[in-house]
Structure 1
Amino acid sequence: MKINKLYRLYALVCFTIFCFCGTVTAQSTGTEVSATVVDEQGNPLSGVNIYGPGGSRASTNDNGLFNIMLPNDEAVVIEKKGYESQFISLSTVTGNITLVKSDFLASEDDEIKMGVSTRDRRDIVGSVSSINTKDRLVYDNTQFVRDYISGLTVGVRGSSNIRGIGNALFVIDGVFGRDPNVLNMEEVEQITVLKDANAVALYGSQGQNGVIIINTKRGSVNKREVNVNVRSGIRTPIALPNYLSAAAFMQLRNEAFANDGLDPSVVGFPQEQIQNTRSGLNPIEFPDVDLYEFVQPFINTTNVISEFSGGNDKSQYYVNVGWLYNENWVNINEDINAGSNRFNVRGNIDFRVNDWITSSIDGVAIISTSKSSRANLLNAATTFIPFDYAPLIPINSIDATNNPELQTLLVGANTFDGNLLGSAQQIGVDAPVALAIAGGYQDRRFRVTQFNNSINFDLSGITEGLSAKTYLSFDFFDTFTTSIRNQYRTYGVTDWVQNDGVDPLRDFGEDRRDLSENVASNGFVSRVGMYALLNYEKTFASNHSLNTTFLGYYNSEKRDGVLQTDRDSHLGLQMTYDFKKKLFVDFSGAYAHSLKLPEGNRGGFSPTVGIGYILSEEPFLKDSDFVNYLKVRASGGIISSDRGIDGYYLYDENYSDGASFGWADGLFSNNRQNISQGANPDMGFEERIDLNIGFESYLMNSLWLEANYFRTELDKQLGFLADQYPSYYNTFRPLNNFNANLYTGFELGLNFNKTFNDLSVGIGANVLYSQTEASKRSETNEFEYQNRQGLELSSIFGFEDLGFYSESDFTADTDGNLVLNSNLPVPNFGAVQPGDIRYADQNGDNVIDQDDQVALGQSASPWTYGVNLNLKYKRWNLFILGTGQTGALGNKLSGNFNNYYAPNGNDKYSEVVLGRWTPQTANTATFPRLTSGDNQNNFRTSSFWLYDTSFFRINRAQVTYEFADTLCDKIGVEDFSLNFQGTNLLEVAENRDIRQLNIGGNPQARTYTLGIRMSF
């Protein structure tokens, strides 16, 4: 199997080099042309790049001179960072070629692609952050898009939550709602985050929570490039759950019986069984099984990506082809647990139709497969009791002497490495190891197909500065599972003879191979999107400019098994005026239409306004050596949205079936129809009310600094009014636009870049503080401390724990039973004993019940930050990225944590129970007393089960070596580099052991890869 993987890798790399090596070594033929490039003052410019047809290229020397071979006197592209590029025919040049210096943040490298439009960085009024991937992937070679967003973008919590408001809308190549997980970073050119209302207004209702825009690469005129990126390495589990051994489990289970007043010698485990299990006397008769022994210590991962781009002034192309492989964590039956493979192909084509029409066609195809056994061993390991049975029974342990029936059974038995598949009577054929070995396989597959086409119209023939664009996209996503579901026989031990052999065996099920592959559809999604826009850009009287965009958008999404098709549509308008390119005023708005609202209320207007002023253009700062650039900005507005309305027809009365009534001696019956929700014909849009104040600056020619203060309120959210009707009219309550959430905070980002001789230093940091509040709620709680209004949105409600009950909290009655002292409040969740969790009586009624729950903390971190370091010395490069958060709490009773950190009743015991309460450990215990039943008191959300989730993590680090040009010339490549990268390398946290542990699924992994990058 592993040899086949190497063949795939080898074949793909060889195919790439074979097909495109000719384009590298081919020499342009024609006439050698020379010219000199100067700036506006006539000074020669060195390092100017010249690109000719057929992949020819040249650079200017210190005198601004270049020589290039050109066939048939074709045109060349001339460009240098910070200057406006030119596309000219050298035969028309008389004298020197003059490049015009771009305004600061207004060059081609400073263009921000905002989904439906493109603006220069300095012209943007709203709060926008952007990352260009050009040259960055050489030293930060991750291929997961979300990894680039997390820690590197200002104002984003995680990889999609902007300012803590909620999941943002992703716009990929102008298409709303596409999934970034289908991309590899090699095909991404730029990632842009739109944060305030003014920036997102053009995206209508869907842009309520902010927008993350991703643009893929495209071909360039006269720039023929072939890039190959190969990475391969290993992934190691950071942590695995640690459950107690069989003997320790039985010992503590007996303690639990005793705590409940039961006799362990009657209902528990005999000491002889415990001792025999602990000593390993006979692992078949006394098994001690840990299913995590089937988890590999490391798995292989390989990623190969090739990309090709180029073109001329008539057409350009970009192609990306990739393969990603990850091995399966479970090492049983390698052919079945084959792991996952992902193949992707992207093609982006731009072409000119005539002098005033250009067009582009993009196509994407992705196929992903994940083949594994039908058993989920990592999930089964959380519940598999270690002494239940041996999952594998060695054939040589079975004594079939003088037992013809057993001999016949063994002859026809399927074996695995000399073992029978073990089980027990209560398990039968559902034993997880047996299912993994003999039960067949399942192959989960998903396929993505995307197509989009844009047509651009230059309408300057009508009036100068007028243009139009149409855009059409089709997306199809389907996922299905193919499987072979074999039947198989398992065996259980029923008795033992004195020589430790098995006699006899009991078998369950039968061996029967599934001869046909089963196919089950898991879902299908189709999406159609389209928009048309009209743009007018004009400069008047040299100092006044106007840029206006009018947009009409429609999108529909249909899901398999869902009757209602989701539809979004809106009209958008953006008008930006600037004076001398230093004072900018922007009005952006949208008029949205929603089918989720009643007729008459289906339209909503979203007005926003923003202003920006470049202070560094003023005389008092224009010649400053400290302040190179400074822009202050402010924006505000309202976004009307239906994004928080999670259903259709919620404005209508809803009915449900009630009690059944029969007649005709029970021959007929009918259900009563009950009203379950009242009607609200006035239901309207939710509103985002937004204020943003900030600045961005460039200082000392080395430090980029930006900051924003924001105040966002999501108002008129749907909810039931608690005080609208008496409680006995609850079923008549309609949904109303009443609730409101408030988000306030600030964000700060900086990037410092400086070169000291051969050493280049880059330091980046960003901080987000976002505090939320339930600013308006309808509540009728008896006690004020139970109200949510005024509290953090992610507030965790529960009981305040006061430690464990001690033995002094009880007295014995005449029968010797423990009775809680009368001066202590009585829990309403059943009888308690010493070692149970004691809760605070918040309302003083001497009873512990639901009325004593209070806000204990918040689950969302208000503070999020990221730091990165990039050091380059000669040809060596070191990059490190770290992220962190602080100020939040986690709950050990939530999700899959529950049976690990809080095992109750018959749950499997993990290592946490070693800190259980006993009379001897009363002062040091970290876990309640053990109980054999279902304890209703201890395992409730309380401060006892909360933990601090603060952390700082080294997400990834990479060392890169770039080979010298002389070597690259010898081997026929343009650039060649080696890199070694590690991810999830280090985490500093008080509760790191909790944070890094996955329970019931694949473990968190630390990855080490070695990679090569080649450019031709």
Structure 2
Amino acid sequence: MKKKSFLKFWTTTQLSKLSCILFLCFITGLNAQTRSIKGKITDDTNTVPGVTIKVKNKPTTAFSDENGNYTILAAENDVLFFSYLGYKTIQIVVANQVTINVKLTEDATTLEEIVINAGYYSIKEKEQTGSIARITAKDIDKQPVTNVLAAMQGRLAGVNIIQDGGTPGGGFQIKIRGRNSIRLDGNEPLYIIDGVPYSNESIGSTNTSTGLPSQASPLNSVNPNDIESIEVLKDADATAIYGSRGANGVVLITRKKGKSGKTNISVTASTAVGTATKFVELMNTQQYLLMRKQAFINDGIPISDTDYDVNGTWDQTRYTNWQKELLGGSATINDFRTSISGGSETTQFLISGNYRTEGTVLPGDFRYIKGGILSSINHTSLDKKFKISFSGNYMAQDNLQAATDLTLTARYLAPNAPALYDSNGNLNWENDTFENPLAPLKSTYRANTNDLVANSVLSYELLPGLEIKSNFGFTDLKTKEVRTIPSTIYNPVYEVGSDNSLLYLNLTSRQSWIIEPQLRGFKNFGNHKFDVLLGMTSQQQRTERLFQSGIGFANNNLINNLASAITKNTTNSDTFLYRYQAFFGRINYSYNEKYFLNFTGRRDGSSRFGPGKQYANFGAIGAAWIFSKEKFNPENSKMSFGKLRFSYGTTGNDQIGDYQFYDTYGTTGANYQGIIGLQPTRLYNADFGWETNRKLELALETGFFKDRIFSTLALYRNRSSDQLVGIPMPATTGFLSLNANLDATVENSGFEFSVRTLNIDSNSFKWSTNFNVAVAKNKLLSFPNLSGSTFANRYVIGQSIDIVKLYQSKGVNPQTGLYDFEDLNGDGSITAGDKQISKDLSPKYFGGIQNQLDYKNWQLDFLLQFVKRDNYDYISNVPGGGPVNQSNTIGDAWQQIGDQSSSQLHTTGLNGAAVSTYYRYIESDAVITDGSFIRLKNISLSYDIPLQATTNVKCKLFIQGQNLLTFTSYKAGDPEFKFSGFLPPLKVISGGMTLNF
């Protein structure tokens, strides 16, 4: 063979062999690439359908099905990416695994994906031009609370919430960016539940609920665990679309809905114990008796036969801590809830039920029971054009409490007072020397409330980018309040019969409906985007109230039956009809996803104002600039996000009640020849109009390191004018005041700062922090003829409307032993004109810091709430020396000339000068104390029990706590609690379990 032919043959042969080898390698590699990988994808509670699974650097892609299962072909050295909207993308090396189960975690720092509910529309957080604060079910579900307002405390910048007491079913105070209205009842925000306005008006009566520091919160009817998210709208851009109802902010409550995927059943059961947070440090028996005896010496009188605490009738060595005795019990709280949800891509459903019982720390069989059911269904047509949703919630409450709060009694009782029960187990009256504090507990307060909230939303896409929608809502609330005062509360020695027993009854019914048709159009023109919304609102609310009382019953067993009363009275019976109509619109424009403009407007009509004043216009403009997308900020910059936003606009306030501009009449109650007479109760004022609130805000939002550090700094100024108040009238008119618009202006200004950080983010450990603080200042800018009005002793121009005017204390005069005060008006005597010292009781700043830690199957979450403010408080309204226990700090009282003491001389009450100076003392700056505190508001520790991968059951154990620790220098009880004479909010420790299957 020739050399050339041989080389050709060898080359051909070798190439054939090489081709065979390469072909075998290819087949082997192909077999490696086509290995089947399976698994299931879940989040904290459910399986997740629709997750994208992609092989890195290859076109292979798969999706999880409705049960979260997936199958994909991959090789050992391949990397799988798992991604889903709102969750962190996870990457896993296949290695030798054939089953890869994945648990997705929410990505709280991805602004591109977080969608905010702004009421009539939704918007991505990065694109919002207004100020909206938000918490989700992730935060709410970790708190053992019965009212959603308690779950919001310390978590939202600029939202100040105070719980009015530890009695179940009590009320809350909420102020969003301060107090706008001079009227105390004109500062409530607007509540919207799934698009339905929910009245913030109290459903109770002061005649029946006297055992509570405030009337029941209307949001007691909302189960916190049914809530998906809460958005609080604060500035003009966010609130102006609600017009006259948005002056004090808007609280949007969105309840949970079903999700597509397999049917999921969830069951949660928990048990909790509640106890009083803090007691006042009072005198022990020795200190108390020394105080009492010194008072008799100072007054120069002997101890009498009726001074049982010091004359030897009561045991002089006995000591009882009455706060622990009367308020130191444990309130047992049981909570059970269950839900079932699921559905297909077109139809989703959810049904949930809840049942909760709460006891009290007071002696006796008192309890609060609430239970309800929530149902929702959402449906979308196959062509995605038609959508319909419906949700309904029904809640029933049964609240039985003592009509008398024992907090003051527990503070005032002498520490050597007798035992509560005698040797036979009956109430001890100690031979008619002791008013047993348990006797008033036979007087009870009972409230039964049934509440229905339902709504439905229908929408249809007429054309691409053009949608018509309508919202329908209905609420129906009925409550019955009963307060009984049986004759058995009195000492038997007085022989008070059942013919002196009393019954107070309140029946309130409130129904409302709302219809809101809307038309929305949206269109993109290259980098230009337009979103236009037009709509109208028609709403009606009808309230009926009946207040009755009964005196005298044949038997106390009949006391709850008004028909059995000897004397029956109808103290009030009325019907209120509120009608509201509005037209609203929004135009949103954006360019190149960097520049945003938002225009909102609303024309409101309210039946609460007179002819010619019923309609008013409100509107706002908001603008935002995402400067981080400009060329001067490179893509690899440490600043991942930067935005400036601005807003200005007006909102209104019609929280004045119904028929306030009319001439109104009431019955005299007097019967003349069979006719009940009428008497005028209010004067007509046709000029009665809206309060107006002008809001201005400038804010900076920044994110660093892919938004792992994200902060918001907002500066704001709100001015409220045309104040709806009662203008004083001359007594000769027969009326104390005339409802009118006063040309007074109140300003709230300040700044809010919030920051969230993702400190550690690894496969096994995650740690994130949320911090917020608000610094606020309230000021009365103007008030015409203030010095000549009846408000002259209440307000000062240039100062807060939350001030108290006080005497200036000079301490104890070492010569007289009495409290001394500055004669500020120079008239030579101490009179009311000397109350010129102003102290602002509104918080100087407040906020919270939350930490969330996840380690494998463990989750720890805790929140520290802090407030800087002054408190106006005192422990006793009786001078030291009387038969009332006192703070242990007044033991070192003045006794003789020359003594240097912080407390004046003790008196039994016969020293008129000492009594007078004491009452000036508790109206002086001496009782202004630092009420600042840091509180471990909430802590939650949970553990996901690892179960076999083949089972669909998930089990979580948890321990939760509320109001656990408080760090403060405040001595007069709980520093957060305003009403010192009532039981403060409780410390609650809860434990339970959640099953999902």
TM-score, length of structure 2 as denominator length: 0.76
Give 1:478's aligned amino acid: K
Q: Are the aligned partners of 2:310 and 2:316 in contact in 1 as well (CA < 8 Å)?
A: no
Matched, 1:803 2:775: no
Give 2:438's aligned amino acid: V
Partner of 2:838: 856
Query: 2: CA distance between counterparts of 1:489 and 1:994?
Result: 28
Partner of 1:393: 422
Q: Are the aligned partners of 1:915 and 1:927 in contact in 2 as well (CA < 8 Å)?
A: no
Deviation at 1:978, TM superposition (A): 2.1
Deviation at 1:759, TM superposition (A): 2.8
Q: After the TM superposition, which residues 180-219 of structure 1 pair with which residues of structure 2 at under 5 Å, given as runs?
A: 180-219=219-258
Distance 1:912 1:212, change over 3 A: same
What is the identity percentage for the equivalent residue pairs of Structure 1 and Structure 2? 18
Q: After the TM superposition, which residues 740-889 of structure 1 pair with which residues of structure 2 at under 5 Å, given as runs?
A: 740-757=745-762, 758-779=764-785, 781=787, 788-807=796-815, 834-886=816-868, 888-889=869-870
Q: Are the aligned partners of 1:193 and 1:211 in contact in 2 as well (CA < 8 Å)?
A: yes
Partner of 1:176: 197
Deviation at 1:79, TM superposition (A): 3.8
Query: 2: CA distance between counterparts of 1:786 and 1:358?
Result: 55
Q: Are the aligned partners of 1:44 and 1:64 in contact in 2 as well (CA < 8 Å)?
A: no
Deviation at 1:385, TM superposition (A): 6.0
Query: 1: CA distance between counterparts of 2:616 and 2:813?
Result: 58
Partner of 2:995: 1014
SS in 2 for 1:969: coil
Partner of 2:69: 57
Partner of 2:183: none
Give 1:154's aligned amino acid: A
Count residues with an aligned counterpart.
853
Partner of 1:639: 651
Query: 2: CA distance between counterparts of 1:233 and 1:672?
Result: 53
Q: After the TM superposition, which residues 368-387 of structure 1 pair with which residues of structure 2 at under 5 Å, given as runs?
A: 368-371=397-400, 377-378=406-407, 380-381=409-410
Partner of 2:29: none
Partner of 1:617: 629
Matched, 1:936 2:942: no
Matched, 1:158 2:158: no
Distance 1:950 1:581, change over 3 A: same
SS in 2 for 1:274: coil
Partner of 1:350: 378
Q: After the TM superposition, which residues 333-732 of structure 1 pair with which residues of structure 2 at under 5 Å, given as runs?
A: 337-352=365-380, 356-371=385-400, 377-378=406-407, 380-381=409-410, 391-395=420-424, 416=425, 419=426, 422=429, 432-434=437-439, 436=441, 443-460=446-463, 464-481=464-481, 508=495, 520-541=505-526, 543-561=528-546, 562-643=574-655, 645-646=656-657, 648-650=659-661, 681-701=686-706, 702-719=708-725
SS in 2 for 1:532: strand
Where does structure 2 lack aligned partners over 5 or more consecutive residues?
A: 1-42, 90-106, 163-173, 180-186, 200-217, 547-573
SS in 2 for 1:209: coil
Q: Are the aligned partners of 1:801 and 1:839 in contact in 2 as well (CA < 8 Å)?
A: yes
Deviation at 1:248, TM superposition (A): 5.9
Matched, 1:986 2:951: no
Q: After the TM superposition, which residues 97-176 of structure 1 pair with which residues of structure 2 at under 5 Å, given as runs?
A: 109-134=113-138, 136=139, 144-158=147-161, 160-165=174-179, 166-176=187-197
Query: 2: CA distance between counterparts of 1:275 and 1:425?
Result: 11
Matched, 1:273 2:285: no
Deviation at 1:756, TM superposition (A): 4.9
Q: Are the aligned partners of 2:480 and 2:506 in contact in 1 as well (CA < 8 Å)?
A: yes
Partner of 1:499: none
Give 1:469's aligned amino acid: K
Give 2:714's aligned amino acid: N
Query: 1: CA distance between counterparts of 2:741 and 2:52?
Result: 71
Q: Are the aligned partners of 2:346 and 2:380 in contact in 1 as well (CA < 8 Å)?
A: yes
Deviation at 1:909, TM superposition (A): 4.6
Query: 2: CA distance between counterparts of 1:310 and 1:431?
Result: 57
Matched, 1:919 2:919: no
Deviation at 1:456, TM superposition (A): 1.8
Give 1:238's aligned amino acid: T
Q: Are the aligned partners of 1:841 and 1:852 in contact in 2 as well (CA < 8 Å)?
A: yes
Distance 1:732 1:756, change over 3 A: closer
Which deviations, in whole Å up to 9, do the C-alpha atoms of 1:50-92 show, x marking residues without a partner? 242xx453487988999xxxxxxxxxx99444699xxxxxxxx
Query: 1: CA distance between counterparts of 2:825 and 2:63?
Result: 76
Matched, 1:306 2:344: no
Distance 1:104 1:34, change over 3 A: closer
Q: Mean alpha-carbon deviation: is it higher for 143-152 or for 845-854?
A: 143-152
Where does structure 1 lack aligned partners over 5 or more consecutive residues?
A: 1-23, 67-76, 85-101, 281-286, 396-415, 493-505, 661-665, 808-833
Q: Mean alpha-carbon deviation: is it higher for 608-617 or for 775-784?
A: 775-784
Q: Mean alpha-carbon deviation: is it higher for 445-454 or for 138-147?
A: 138-147
Deviation at 1:374, TM superposition (A): 6.7
Give 2:348's aligned amino acid: Q
Give 2:537's aligned amino acid: G
Give 2:846's aligned amino acid: T
Q: Are the aligned partners of 1:489 and 1:507 in contact in 2 as well (CA < 8 Å)?
A: no
Distance 1:846 1:625, change over 3 A: same
How big is the alpha-carbon RMSD for the aligned residues of Structure 1 and Structure 2? 4.5
Deviation at 1:256, TM superposition (A): 2.9
Q: Are the aligned partners of 2:143 and 2:940 in contact in 1 as well (CA < 8 Å)?
A: yes
Distance 1:386 1:590, change over 3 A: same
Query: 2: CA distance between counterparts of 1:363 and 1:672?
Result: 43
Distance 1:114 1:587, change over 3 A: same
Q: Mean alpha-carbon deviation: is it higher for 911-920 or for 727-736?
A: 727-736
- Report 1 or 2 for greater relative contact order, CA contacts < 8 Å, sequence distance ≥ 6: 2
Query: 1: CA distance between counterparts of 2:275 and 2:955?
Result: 29
Deviation at 1:530, TM superposition (A): 2.7
Which deviations, in whole Å up to 9, do the C-alpha atoms of 1:463-497 show, x marking residues without a partner? x32212222222222333579987769887xxxxx
Q: After the TM superposition, which residues 91-102 of structure 1 pair with which residues of structure 2 at under 5 Å, given as runs?
A: none
Distance 1:567 1:626, change over 3 A: same
Query: 2: CA distance between counterparts of 1:65 and 1:532?
Result: 57
Deviation at 1:793, TM superposition (A): 1.9
Q: Are the aligned partners of 2:577 and 2:658 in contact in 1 as well (CA < 8 Å)?
A: no
Q: Are the aligned partners of 2:143 and 2:151 in contact in 1 as well (CA < 8 Å)?
A: no
Distance 1:384 1:347, change over 3 A: same
SS in 1 for 2:450: strand
SS in 1 for 2:628: helix
Distance 1:719 1:64, change over 3 A: farther
Deviation at 1:803, TM superposition (A): 0.6
Query: 2: CA distance between counterparts of 1:44 and 1:274?
Result: 94
Matched, 1:961 2:943: yes
SS in 2 for 1:781: helix
